[in-house]
Amino acid sequence: MWTVHIPKKVQKAARDLPPLAQQALRYLVRDLRLNGPVAGNWPNYSKLSGNRHHCHIKKGRPTYVSVWWEIREGRTIEVTYVGTHEKAPY
């Protein structure tokens, strides 16, 4: 079991997502808790530089993504961004 940390700034951004994207984010967080940071079964998942990962949580226009990174000490994952693909920090 992994610990998933979602900072307040990301929680606030998540509240502004459309309902389907919010639901997908909840499923993603649950999946990360159970299976760890590699979410290969999610659309457009990829490992970014270092210990960072991302995937699409809602396709279409606009596309919504989530970015997270793996903290190896303590089996912790921190979600660093949720929002539109255009503004994603990668």
8-34 confidence digits (pLDDT tens): 999 999 999 999 999 999 999 999 999
Q: What is the model's pTM?
A: 0.89
Per the structure, the complete domain to which residue 69 belongs is given by 3-87
- Return phi, psi of residue 2, to 5°: -105, 155
User: Residue 80 sits in a domain of what CATH number?
Assistant: 3.30.2310.20
48-83 confidence digits (pLDDT tens): 988 899 999 999 899 999 999 998 777 899 999 999
∠ CA 74-17-32 to the nearest 5 degrees?
25
Give the number of domains in the chain: 1
